[in-house]
């Protein structure tokens, strides 16, 4: 089993940056593919970026537009999302997720990012 806790959200002005963190406890972190999702008010949850056990990453270009970078530190059991040049449309709850070898997806409770004009 694994539990996830996001942090690093907050309020920033358009053009600002934030670094989100996701701390994992329990389980074997290095075995999990990790992902970031986000959900804006009144919208469905959408995929932001993912990273494999070995560090191969993928992103939703329509969401990140080259501004976000996902990374992980298996030693520290941490997942990160560096977000630069934030825009108001990035305002959302951001969630990290772990996918276990058995295919189970475990979610954190989210951290709120608010970007003002």
The structure tokens 């694994």 sit at 2
d(CA 94, CA 30): 21
1 falls in which pLDDT band (50, 70, 90)?
confident
Residue 65's pLDDT is 87
Where b means 16+ CB within 10 Å and e means fewer, 13-37 reads: eeeeebebbbbbeebebeebbbbbb
pLDDT, tens digit, 9 for 90 and up, residues 39-93: 999 999 999 999 999 899 999 999 988 999 999 999 999 999 999 999 999 999 9
pLDDT, tens digit, 9 for 90 and up, residues 9-33: 999 999 999 999 999 999 999 999 9
């Amino acid at each position: 089993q694994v539990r996830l806790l996001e942090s690093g959200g907050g309020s920033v002005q358009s053009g600002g940056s934030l670094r989100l963190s996701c701390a994992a406890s329990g389980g074997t972190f290095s075995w999990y593919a990790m992902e970031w999702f986000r959900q804006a008010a009144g919208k469905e949850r959408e995929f932001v970026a993912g990273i494999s056990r070995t560090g191969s990453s993928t992103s939703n270009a329509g969401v990140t537009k080259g501004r976000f970078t996902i990374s992980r530190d298996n030693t520290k059991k941490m997942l990160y999302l560096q977000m630069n040049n934030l825009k108001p449309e990035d305002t959302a709850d951001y969630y990290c997720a772990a996918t276990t070898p058995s295919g189970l997806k475990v979610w954190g409770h989210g951290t709120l990012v608010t970007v003002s004009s």
